[in-house]
Amino acid sequence: MARRRIVLIGYRGTGKSSIGKALSSITGQVHIDTDQLIEDATGKKIPEIFESEGEAGFREIEQHVIARIPSGAGIISTGGGAVLHPENVRMLRMNSFVVLLTSKNEVIARRIAKTSRPSLTGQPPEKEIDTVLEERMPLYRSAADFVINTSSTSAKQAASLILDKITRGICLPEKRKSLLAGVIKTPVPDREKVHLKKISGDTDYYLYGILGHPAMHSKSPVIYNHLFADYGMPAHYTWFEQKDPGVFLSSLTGTGVRGLSVTIPHKETIIPHLDEIKHDAENIGAVNTVLILEDEKFGFNTDWKGIYRPLEGTEGDTAVILGAGGAAAAAVYAVSMRGFRPVILNRSPERAKSLARKSGAETGTLDQVEKFSPDLIINTTPVGMSSNPHLPIPASVLKPEMKVFDLVYTPRDTPLLQAALQAGCSVIPGTEMFIHQLAEQFRILTGIDTPIIRLREMLS
């Protein structure tokens, strides 16, 4: 029997309480129903709490209750909105198998018609299910380890399916071994080879990784593995240095790979191999995050958030983006979302024009910075990296009222940032983008919000 807790998440009417009870009676483990705990703690029924405290008040009580659930083995049925709060997901993921229960919408409607649960939107039941599931499904997917469809199963049958899956392991042993044998042949560090050999037979372990070519320069494995340890998640993150993203993705069935960070040169070429792409990634034309659940692959772009968030409080009219590649596309999107007029300046003018087609940005070459009098300059070229320690634009164009964001982060103090500081500009180092995009990616891949301060600490 599982050494870990079994946590059931999903929309109301998918069977969380009844399947929780069935799991408890089969395994003899204690069953905790968070809605029941809330009613016991407040002495009120859920509809009464919604009536008196509103949904926000209910969520606050729910968070207190979930935070106090013991971490030892047991079966936990949660309320349908428990995943709305990332702190709940952090608590529920600890030492657990998190199972997402789903059902067809018409089946859910039929089941909840028999209950007295309050409406969340004031809409007719079937419409409300569509609306709420659209908002919550991404959160359920991020928080879940696997999915069981309960549309046409009894509670007992669903409980058996869950236990069967847990007993067999979350992946097929021969598939897992073959994947990791392939990774061991790539230039991963020796200590990683030893670790991969150790875990290749452990089918309870989820895998994540950075997919790129090259990929070995990435610091993500070190950070992710620290975070998995922090959050008690049975998972490991490694390097997938692969030339063909399509061939690689098609080899993942049965391996227990749950998520990927994607880097050069695959951010655009991976798109046709995915089942669904979030609209911001589609708009930018690049995917740097792939969530995999039950063989379905969902694409996201977190690079733009890594630029957008550090620009909080930055004001001005014009943002000049130096470069016109993948990072520049994310930067154009991010500055537009902050209300700046983007201008793309690139070594090859044709590429700048091609990137500008979607956004309607003005374009030019790198020697034209002064012409646009920017309030913000973002360097998205690799100029300034340790292998190319130069300035992408002359220091003389930098003025004290400008803000300069250099996406290059090796080294941290790039020639451009040093020149900007000398000119009296305020600056943002590339490490801030790395940290903020990673925090967003970790939330998509696990449902957990990780404090930015913890990530800064790990990078320093």
Q: Among residues 232 and 411, whose Cβ is nearest to ligand NAP?
A: 411
Q: Torsion angle of alpha carbons 291, 445, 260, 333, nearest 10°?
A: 80
Q: Among residues 26 and 458, whose Cβ is nearest to ligand NAP?
A: 458
Q: Among residues 327 and 334, whose Cβ is nearest to ligand NAP?
A: 327
Question: Under 8 Å CB-to-CB from 253, ≥6 apart: which residues?
Answer: 175, 295
Q: Among residues 127 and 390, whose Cβ is nearest to ligand NAP?
A: 390
Q: Is 399 a catalytic residue?
A: no
Asked if residues 322 and 397 have their Cβ atoms less than 8 Å apart, the reply is: no
Asked if residues 448 and 86 have their Cβ atoms less than 8 Å apart, the reply is: yes
Question: Under 8 Å CB-to-CB from 188, ≥6 apart: which residues?
Answer: 196, 216, 238, 239, 241
Strand order across the 235-241 sheet: 235-241, 206-212, 257-262, 289-293, 296-300, 276-277
Determine the Cα angle at 450 with ends 446 and 452, to 5°. 145
Whole-number minimum distance, CB 332 to ligand NAP, in Å? 11
Cα separations in angstroms, 178 against 186, 201, 233, 297, 456: 13, 10, 23, 21, 35
Residue nearest to ligand NAP (CB): 325
- Give the rounded distance of the alpha carbon of 438 from its chain centre: 8
> Where on the chain is the footprint of ligand NAP (CB under 6 A)?
264, 303, 306, 323-328, 346-348, 351, 380-383, 385, 392, 407-409, 430, 433-434, 437
Strands (DSSP E) found in 302-457: 318-322, 341-345, 362-364, 376-379, 403-406, 426-428
Q: Among residues 22 and 428, whose Cβ is nearest to ligand NAP?
A: 428
Whole-number minimum distance, CB 460 to ligand NAP, in Å? 15
The active-site residue out of 267, 278, 297, 403 is 267
Whole-number minimum distance, CB 313 to ligand NAP, in Å? 20
Q: How far apart are CA 70 and CA 49, in angstroms?
A: 24
Whole-number minimum distance, CB 373 to ligand NAP, in Å? 21
Whole-number minimum distance, CB 324 to ligand NAP, in Å? 4
Q: Which residues are catalytic?
A: 267
